[in-house]
Structure 1
């Protein structure tokens, strides 16, 4: 009897330990961010699809949506993994279904916002060549060259292409002229980003556009404050120390709020206004200027982006 009781207790202890280990393994698996281990070539996938390319394309598109969504929410360590697989995934999706317009657009916007400008340009150019004739593809390439690289000549060429596409905003032709004359403004960026946001149908892409809208607002406010600084210094003949002096001198009624949640500060050594939490400023230069932010939004239910 005693040996039976001992055996029972031993078995119970082992079952308890196994349950705890199983729970911890399951918890670790659930907390592990979604990732894509392998992306097949478009040629291999076309052969394997056996005539069901659109169906297989949709399966990989759902995988791409989940891949983007976990990085957007910053769940677990997902935001540390980056977007290395996004271009191959969407390249595969659009190899299988070249008319999948939202795949080109979403990947182009997300990769741009993540600072992967070359990859953004690559998928958007593919959309221009093989996808539906959407004005958003060349427009967003124009935005990459204008807002992030400071290459106004190339940006103007793509804006002109976008302006000729069906359904293009009338504002794009004005932007093309402004860029060609090297006078593109943050106000134009804000207007066009708002129009572009009105064309998207998913929360992930809209979230990325919101972040880029914040950058455009930051640049608009900073330029306005710098003009106000120049006006005050011209009036009184000596440099300012803080932006608050603009309000005290009644040059401006108030300092606008920083769209990133910090505050605007005057950097005397640079003669520039910057955000206290985001170092981005537009630079007119030949070299590449990468986005100076990292997007992270509150966790929400992921929306499946089906066509």
Structure 2
């Protein structure tokens, strides 16, 4: 409740999940600011959102899918931990469409960057260039295996923009994927939630879905697990993200925690997902009608994870 209260006062529709990593049990499930009613002191705007469930709402995930792309590229041997990636002007000719020229949030180019810095600072161009090598089909298969069952379109439909979150997912799916990351690629731990004895678990078990390209075992071998652990280490490194988030970032917590943020186009959605050894915390902020948030840059969305983590992201 404390996580959502500050966002509700800012008239920011939002949702949050808190999960016990050991069991996958959902400890907190908040679908909207007025989920707990007037006790939060929500504004009329937020109160009208009470009938919506932001945990299940389908939204573009922004950069939150990048860790899984980098892990797959490491697993395939396309990159190594010490690889240098290129953040340079890049253009793709798309048949029947305009030239695709990805650009970063800062609209600047960093040139050659270390792998750790490229992920930590969530640079867009290195991610798109990496997806070109991994192949969209392989990445989409991996996302299906992770539990993103609402990515129902073809690889051709999503294209290279999938690296930047061109599809639609929900907070439940995203939390499940990060729970798998927290477990080093082990998919045997599933999110579980009940309300008055009724299961709230989502849809079918994506771990049983089939795919022709890159379906790993539910428990990875030691070599593959090392690539998952490396991604966790990168997301836990405050120095790796300092250029984009600052040295005194609110994402820097007084205990080890892996954190990733994401923002969809036109600031329609902002996300923060983080995990420690014990807990995974995920938040979404956005308008339920899908309209842009003009005040998105000032939203205290990363703080929501910070406040949750201080009690345990």
If the length of structure 2 is used for normalisation, what is the TM-score?
0.25
Q: Which structure carries more helix by proportion?
A: 1
Higher relative CO (Cα under 8 Å, sequence separation at least 6) belongs to 2
Q: Which structure carries more strand by proportion?
A: 2
Greater C-alpha radius of gyration = 1
